[in-house]
């Protein structure tokens, strides 16, 4: 952090000295606070936020594009450039709002998607063991119920048992008379569970192998789909994705999923980043969002969000591309 602060001050006060950026693992909240307290950086950040806030740039007048470009260029030489957030952190949405101020898909014709919002997860899991479980023969699965073992293991761990109980309580519909469950509360509890419980427990619960429909249905019900995302009629996928991109957290989880689960036919693993662990973490990060994925039925291992491309009109190809990230993703 001292390195970043020193480099930034040299850049701000030395004029033409070329210091492009300083990546010291700084989170965006700290970078935003540092910028806000600086007389040179603060007005540029305010200008940039106006540029990306819908039609907010209209308030900047005829020279809006030039002002936006100048603010962007200046902020790329501050600790704001390269900052990231931690998934599930306190004030996560505040942190991500700062990140996205600088990383918009399109900003007055400027393309600046060169990074991803979350710090790499340091927590690990035994993915070799998970892979062997998924590849178990039918006789092995029938003698050892991995899904049941995963539930028992979670109940033994204090954090897993506590947070699982919380989301089940939040997601179970009280009764037909009292109406539907509280979906926002349910999804918030689900995000908390998958963000705070180690993947050794969450991934065992969600990715355990099944050979019969009863087991598969129990696995599908792990995230209580009837409350977390299912509806009588499937909504259009592009509507879901649009709503997701309007929320900083959902937008960030989707960006991370696209990055970590990008497929590659030229990769031995099927993943461009060669990291199945990061892909699975990014996948579970979507649970509890507008585009929550789950098993599509109890007879296969196919996954995807609860939506359809049936009414996509001229945007059918775009909608199919979205679903392909789940249905036809060799990395996932």
Domain holding 283: CATH number? 1.10.220.110
Whether residues 190 and 253 share a domain: the answer is: no
Label residue 10 by pLDDT band (50, 70, 90).
very low
Q: Which two tokens stand for residue 328?
A: 């036809």
192 and 88 Cβ atoms separated by less than 8 Å? yes
Which residue would you say has higher pLDDT here, 22 or 238? 238
Whether residues 204 and 240 share a domain: the answer is: no
Residue 186 lies in a domain: yes
Say whether pLDDT at 155 is over 70. Answer: yes
Q: Note the pLDDT of residue 296.
A: 92
Distances (CA, A) of 318 to 114, 232, 235, 314, 321: 22, 24, 15, 9, 5
Residue 115 lies in a domain: no
Dist. CA 196–CA 218, nearest whole Å? 22
- Residues 221-258 as b/e (b if ≥16 CB within 10 A, e otherwise) read ebbbeebbbeeeeebbbbebbeebbeebbbbbbbbbbe
Is the CA virtual torsion 104, 105, 109, 111 positive or negative? Answer: positive
Q: Note the pLDDT of residue 124.
A: 52
Residue 5 lies in a domain: no
Number of domains into which the chain is organized: 3
43 dihedral zone (left: phi>0; alpha: psi -120 to 50; beta): alpha
Whether residues 242 and 327 share a domain: the answer is: yes
Say whether pLDDT at 322 is over 80. Answer: yes
Look-up: residue for tokens 């936020």? 49
Whether residues 257 and 213 share a domain: the answer is: no
Residue 87 lies in a domain: yes
User: How much is the average pLDDT of 154-167?
Assistant: 96
Whether residues 243 and 220 share a domain: the answer is: no
Residue 7 lies in a domain: no
Dist. CA 186–CA 171, nearest whole Å? 5
Whether residues 192 and 274 share a domain: the answer is: no
Judged on CB neighbours under 10 Å (0-12, 13-18, 19+), 174 is: exposed
Distances (CA, A) of 13 to 7, 8, 297: 10, 9, 61
Dist. CA 45–CA 30, nearest whole Å? 14
Dist. CA 114–CA 116, nearest whole Å? 7
Residue 1 lies in a domain: no
Q: Which residue, of 55, 84, 104, is where some domain finishes?
A: 104
Q: Which two tokens stand for residue 318?
A: 């775009």
H helices within 262-315, ranges in order? 276-285
Whether residues 253 and 317 share a domain: the answer is: yes
Is the CA virtual torsion 283, 86, 222, 126 positive or negative? Answer: positive
User: How much is the average pLDDT of 125-143?
Assistant: 48
Whether residues 213 and 251 share a domain: the answer is: no
Is the CA virtual torsion 283, 307, 297, 290 positive or negative? Answer: positive
Q: What is the mean pLDDT of the chain?
A: 81
Q: Which residue, of 199, 230, 261, is where some domain finishes?
A: 230
Minimum mean pLDDT range among 114-128, 144-158, 197-211: 114-128
Whether residues 32 and 94 share a domain: the answer is: yes
Q: Note the pLDDT of residue 61.
A: 65
Q: Note the pLDDT of residue 80.
A: 86
65-88 confidence digits (pLDDT tens): 788 888 888 888 888 888 899 998
Distances (CA, A) of 73 to 57, 68, 171: 16, 9, 46
User: How much is the average pLDDT of 165-178?
Assistant: 78
Q: How far apart are the first and last CA of the chain?
A: 36
Residue 220 lies in a domain: yes
244 and 188 Cβ atoms separated by less than 8 Å? no
Whether residues 239 and 226 share a domain: the answer is: no
Long-range contacts of 45-51, Cβ-Cβ distance < 8 Å, separation of 24 or more: 45/71, 45/75, 45/80, 45/101, 47/71, 48/72, 48/75, 48/101, 48/102, 49/101, 51/107, 51/108
For residue 295, give its domain range.
Answer: 234-331
Q: Which residue, of 179, 204, 230, is where some domain finishes?
A: 230
Whether residues 323 and 276 share a domain: the answer is: yes
Q: Which residues contact 250 (CB under 8 A, 6 or more apart)?
A: 243, 244, 289, 290, 291
Whether residues 288 and 304 share a domain: the answer is: yes
């Amino acid at each position: 952090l001292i390195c970043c602060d020193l480099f930034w001050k040299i850049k701000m006060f030395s004029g033409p000295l070329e210091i492009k950026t300083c990546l010291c693992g700084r989170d965006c909240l700290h970078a935003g606070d540092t910028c806000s307290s600086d007389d040179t950086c603060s007005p540029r950040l305010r200008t940039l936020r106006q540029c990306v806030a819908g039609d907010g740039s209209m308030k900047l007048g005829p020279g809006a594009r030039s002002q936006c470009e100048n603010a962007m260029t200046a902020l790329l030489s501050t600790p704001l450039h390269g900052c990231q957030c931690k998934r599930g952190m306190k004030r996560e949405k505040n942190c991500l709002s700062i990140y996205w101020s600088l990383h918009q898909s399109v900003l007055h014709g400027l393309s600046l998607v060169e990074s991803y919002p979350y710090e790499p997860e340091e927590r690990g899991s035994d993915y070799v063991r998970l892979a062997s479980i998924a590849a178990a023969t039918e006789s092995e699965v029938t003698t050892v119920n991995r899904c049941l073992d995963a539930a028992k293991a979670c109940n033994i761990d204090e954090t897993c048992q506590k947070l699982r109980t919380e989301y089940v309580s939040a997601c179970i519909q009280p009764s037909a008379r009292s109406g539907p469950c509280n979906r926002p509360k349910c999804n918030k509890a689900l995000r908390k569970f998958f963000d705070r419980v180690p993947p050794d427990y969450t991934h065992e619960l969600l990715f355990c192998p099944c050979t019969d429909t009863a087991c598969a249905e129990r696995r599908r019900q792990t995230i209580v789909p009837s409350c977390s995302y299912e509806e009588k009629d499937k909504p259009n996928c592009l509507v879901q994705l649009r709503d997701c991109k309007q929320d900083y957290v959902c937008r960030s989880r989707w960006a991370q999923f696209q990055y970590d689960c990008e497929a590659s036919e030229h990769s031995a693993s099927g993943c461009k980043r060669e990291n199945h662990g990061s892909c699975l973490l990014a996948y579970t990060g979507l649970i509890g969002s507008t585009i929550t994925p789950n098993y599509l039925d109890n007879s296969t291992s196919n996954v995807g969000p609860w939506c359809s491309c049936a009414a996509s009109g001229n945007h059918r190809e775009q909608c199919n591309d979205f679903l392909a990230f789940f249905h036809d993703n060799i990395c996932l």
